[in-house]
């Protein structure tokens, strides 16, 4: 029933292993052998749920295992937390032959990947994502980062994992809010690349909420396959990979302005997608029917379709001008032009953005 998808870049090829009950089977850590060292990075909640099973699998291989528990939440995705990992590595005498294992959601994965990319100038790492958002998006593709108080993911690197292990049973313990947040990134793929997948989501969203096994497997495989194709074409986000940032320019502004963790990443992206769609409408690039479909599907997933009531245009611009997609002080935003296709719109005017934010505030349908 499971699936293995290969991610290929110019320098690396690695598998994404997707299946149920992976923690009850010998893990596909094919490059680990007896005598190797690993450091598992996780948080308290995931430690209590899954650490013992992963530990036992690694112990059976015969590797030396240490672990470090870091604080949970987007607000702790900082250089201070990265230093906690470094301290644990150094105290336990981990050298360049060690492997970091990210056991957790997107925050754990991003921090661990970034730490791996710079510890002793780079060590191996494994992604074991435990949330829907990390399974379909952040664990795949090698974008690692931490936040700065002035901007989201401003300090980071492109650094590919050696393997991504997606145990679909982890979704059983995910809160409804976290699951909904992950669906924002799922819907993003349909809007950008695949109208048929978007239609499938419209027809099967209740099955996903009910954790129907066949539907969950299909959905996550589809997202990972779409992302792996983009990474193959554009690993370092020089062009086409930037499309995956649909909704993120506005969404990152919301996260940074409100304070990391107030809105979940997927919630901010959801509102950001709607603002991006309205921006596209202001430019006569998308029809209203497609915008309504996007809003209806996001609402069906219990996701916000409007930005925060207490956030104003100048606050958006403060963060938009710090966005990584700014080039020569010109604003570039990913815009949907129809369901199944998006573009990178260069040098968009402040007036169009302001009008879109205002219309989103007054959204009535």
| Whether 185 is catalytic | yes
**Residue range 88-96: mean pLDDT, rounded:** 97
Q: Is the pLDDT of residue 1 over 90?
A: no
Please tell me which residue in 153, 162, 167, 245 is annotated as part of the active site.
245
| Whether 11 is catalytic | no
Angle, alpha carbons 168-170-171 (nearest 5°): 80
How many whole angstroms separate alpha carbon 329 and alpha carbon 350?
Answer: 12
pTM of the model: 0.94
pLDDT of residue 150: 86
Instruction: Estimate to the nearest angstrom the gap between the alpha carbon of 157 and the chain centroid.
Output: 15
Q: What Å distances lie between residue 94 and 37, 103, 138, 210, CA to CA?
A: 7, 18, 26, 42
Helix (H, G, I), strand (E, B) or coil at 96: coil
pLDDT in tens, 12-46: 899 999 999 999 887 666 678 899 999 999 999 99
pLDDT in tens, 179-188: 999 999 999 9
Q: Is the pLDDT of residue 240 over 70?
A: yes
pLDDT of residue 250: 96
112 and 146 in contact (C-beta within 8 Å)? no
Q: Is the pLDDT of residue 302 over 60?
A: yes
Please tell me which residue in 94, 188, 222, 252 is annotated as part of the active site.
252
| Whether 265 is catalytic | yes
| Whether 94 is catalytic | no
Please tell me which residue in 248, 281, 324, 332 is annotated as part of the active site.
248
Q: What Å distances lie between residue 358 and 97, 213, 276, 312, CA to CA?
A: 53, 41, 12, 9
| 177-361 CATH choice from 3.90.1170.50, 1.20.1090.10, 3.40.50.9100, 3.90.1150.10 | 1.20.1090.10
- Going by C-alpha positions, the residue among 353, 117, 71 that lies closest to residue 361 is 353
> What are the extents of the domains in the chain?
3-173, 177-361
| Whether 310 is catalytic | no
pLDDT of residue 149: 87
Asked, colleague to colleague, whether 3-173 and 177-361 share their fold, the answer is no
pLDDT of residue 47: 98
- Going by C-alpha positions, the residue among 39, 112, 37 that lies closest to residue 82 is 112
Please tell me which residue in 74, 237, 255, 257 is annotated as part of the active site.
237
Radius of gyration of the chain (CA): 20
| Whether 12 is catalytic | no
pLDDT in tens, 242-301: 999 999 999 999 999 998 889 999 999 999 999 999 999 999 999 999 999 999 999 999
Please tell me which residue in 77, 94, 143, 332 is annotated as part of the active site.
143
| Whether 299 is catalytic | no
Q: Is the pLDDT of residue 326 over 70?
A: no
Domain 3-173, CATH: 3.40.50.1970
Please tell me which residue in 121, 238, 314, 351 is annotated as part of the active site.
121
Angle, alpha carbons 212-143-349 (nearest 5°): 100
Please tell me which residue in 74, 185, 257, 267 is annotated as part of the active site.
185
Instruction: Estimate to the nearest angstrom the gap between the alpha carbon of 267 and the chain centroid.
Output: 12
Please tell me which residue in 152, 227, 319, 324 is annotated as part of the active site.
227
Structure tokens at 296: 């209806």
| Whether 359 is catalytic | no
| Whether 350 is catalytic | no
Percent of all residues in the chain with a pLDDT value above 70, rounded to a whole number: 97
Q: Is the pLDDT of residue 64 over 90?
A: yes
pLDDT of residue 160: 96
- Going by C-alpha positions, the residue among 37, 41, 35 that lies closest to residue 99 is 37
Q: Is the pLDDT of residue 165 over 80?
A: yes
């Amino acid at each position: 029933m499971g699936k293995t998808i290969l991610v290929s870049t110019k320098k690396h090829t690695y598998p994404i292993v997707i299946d149920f009950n992976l923690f009850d089977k010998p893990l596909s850590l094919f490059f680990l052998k007896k005598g190797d060292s690993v450091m598992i990075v996780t948080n308290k909640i995931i430690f209590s749920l899954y650490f013992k099973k992963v530990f036992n699998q690694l112990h059976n291989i015969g590797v030396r295992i240490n672990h470090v528990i870091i604080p949970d939440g987007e607000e702790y995705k900082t250089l201070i937390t990265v230093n906690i990992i470094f301290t644990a590595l150094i105290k336990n005498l981990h050298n360049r032959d060690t492997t970091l294992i990210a056991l957790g959601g997107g925050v754990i994965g991003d921090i661990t990947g970034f730490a791996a990319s710079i510890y002793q100038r780079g060590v191996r790492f494994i992604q074991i994502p435990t949330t829907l958002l990390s399974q379909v998006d952040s664990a795949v593709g090698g974008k690692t980062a931490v936040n700065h108080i002035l901007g989201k993911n401003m300090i980071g690197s492109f650094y590919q994992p050696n393997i991504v292990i997606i145990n679909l049973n982890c979704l059983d313990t995910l809160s409804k809010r976290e699951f909904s947040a992950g669906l924002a990134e799922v819907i993003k793929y349909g809007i950008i690349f695949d109208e048929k997948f978007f239609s499938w989501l419209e027809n099967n969203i209740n099955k996903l909420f009910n954790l129907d096994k066949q539907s969950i497997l299909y959905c996550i495989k589809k997202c990972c396959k779409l992302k792996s194709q983009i990474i193959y074409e554009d690993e370092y986000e020089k062009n086409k990979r930037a499309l995956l940032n649909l909704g993120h320019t506005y969404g990152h502004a919301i996260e940074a302005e409100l304070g990391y963790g107030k809105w979940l990443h997927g919630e901010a992206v959801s509102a950001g997608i709607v603002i991006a769609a309205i921006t596209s409408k202001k430019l006569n690039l998308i029809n209203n029917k497609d915008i309504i479909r996007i809003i209806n599907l996001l609402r069906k997933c219990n996701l916000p379709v409007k930005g925060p009531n207490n956030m104003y245009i100048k606050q958006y611009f403060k963060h938009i001008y710090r966005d990584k997609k700014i080039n020569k002080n010109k604003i570039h935003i990913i815009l949907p032009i129809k369901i199944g296709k998006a573009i990178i719109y260069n040098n968009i005017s402040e007036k169009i953005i302001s009008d879109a934010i205002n219309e989103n505030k007054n959204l009535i349908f």
